[in-house]
Structure 1
Amino acid sequence: MDTDRHPEPVPAPPPAIEPDAKDWTWVVQQRCPECGFAASDVDPPGIGGTVRDLVPRWVAALHRDDARERPAPGVWSPLEYGAHVRDVMRVFDERVRLMTDQDDPLFANWDQDATAVTDRYDLQDPVVVADELAAAAAVTADRFDAVAADQWERTGRRSNGSLFTVRTLGQYFLHDVVHHLHDVRA
């Protein structure tokens, strides 16, 4: 055993990203001027299929040579956005599960910016993130596919008081996935 070896130092975190403090719930009602997505055009029973259709674009972005590179110091890399979208898939899968299993659940808080720092999105392996995103997308798509016709208007709440139905949560969720594809130019 070689005892003279020292573990590689962990690189310093990249420059902090200014936390996104915007309330994006308005995208359920209006077209997003940045990415062009119109959540109100989303047919809820088609959410699962749309999620599956978007996965190859995410996988391709995460396999690019520049996947780890930030386009600017204060902007996430495709890798960081991909890790975020993977986690979005997991969070929204859980929220839909709660909404279909419970009456008007209150969602646990999720600080996406803190998660990115704590989980060191910047150091994750883009190929692994691509695989994890695809797996999480499959589970989330199946979850949306399993929503019964009479469950689309069931409600759930964020701690800030934002009220969603399964329908509007799905529309809001899809905007996040599509918007970040726009961010990474995929």
Structure 2
Amino acid sequence: MTEPDAIEPDTKDWTWVIEQGCPECGFNPPEPTEVAQRVRATIPRFVAALQRADAAQRHDPAVWSTLEYGCHVRDVCVIFGARLHQLLSEPNPTFANWDQDQTAVADRYHAQHPGTVAAEYAEAAGHTADAFAAVRADQWQRAGTRSNGSQFTVATLAVYFLHDLEHHLHDVHG
């Protein structure tokens, strides 16, 4: 299988979507307590997108395929589940840097099996949704810091996480 061209890294700081929403994908920031339900709603949509015959095909060489986006959101669920755990179990944690573009290349997103990725996404999204659903009212304001210095609470992390999933559903027309 031929290695695809590298995608130009997205260097934008997307944290503004937490309060402003996203005009590109139509994201409206929910109350954090609504995040788990909306994450669960992404599962059948990503699974369906990954079942399309052209899921592994890049329609533009500079943009990930549905398969590559599926791998990314699967990993986003795992990373954000771990970050939520840190926020709930450590005082003022700092999240390790995660280079999503490096991960895509190193883990050969383009060569993974769409059916496997769909199942893994469903499991990871369900697990992370359950973790957000279990957050108690007194935990939503627990704080931590991303490696670039951005501050997050459990509440803002939840909204930021949801935007990533819903935005990429928009990207894959899911």
> TM bucket by the smaller chain?
over 0.9
Instruction: Report deviation, 1:31.
Output: 2.1
Instruction: Report deviation, 1:148.
Output: 0.6
1:167 aligns with 2:155: yes
Q: TM-score, normalised by structure 1?
A: 0.92
Give the number of equivalent residue pairs. 174
What is the SS of the residue equivalent to 1:46?
Answer: helix
Aligned to 1:136: 124
Aligned to 2:15: 25
1:75 maps to amino acid:
V
What is the SS of the residue equivalent to 1:29?
Answer: helix
Q: Following the alignment from structure 2 to structure 1, what is the Cα–Cα distance between the partners of residues 77 and 11?
A: 20
What is the SS of the residue equivalent to 1:156?
Answer: strand
1:148 aligns with 2:148: no
What is the SS of the residue equivalent to 1:135?
Answer: helix
Aligned to 1:8: none
Instruction: Report deviation, 1:164.
Output: 0.4
What is the SS of the residue equivalent to 2:64?
Answer: coil
Aligned to 1:43: 31
1:125 maps to amino acid:
H
Q: Following the alignment from structure 1 to structure 2, what is the Cα–Cα distance between the partners of residues 66 and 159?
A: 36
Aligned to 1:16: 6
RMSD of aligned alpha carbons:
0.7
**Which has the higher Rg, Structure 1 or Structure 2?**
1
What is the CA deviation profile of residues 71-95 of structure 1, one whole-angstrom value per residue up to 9, with x for unaligned ones? Answer: 1000000000000000000000000
Q: Following the alignment from structure 1 to structure 2, what is the Cα–Cα distance between the partners of residues 130 and 185?
A: 16
Q: TM-score, normalised by structure 2?
A: 0.98
What is the CA deviation profile of residues 122-156 of structure 1, one whole-angstrom value per residue up to 9, with x for unaligned ones? Answer: 00000000000000011101110111100001001
Q: Point out where structure 1 has 5 or more consecutive residues left out of the alignment.
A: 1-10
Instruction: Report deviation, 1:68.
Output: 0.4
The ranges of structure 1 where at least 4 consecutive aligned residues each deviate by more than 4 angstroms after the TM superposition are none
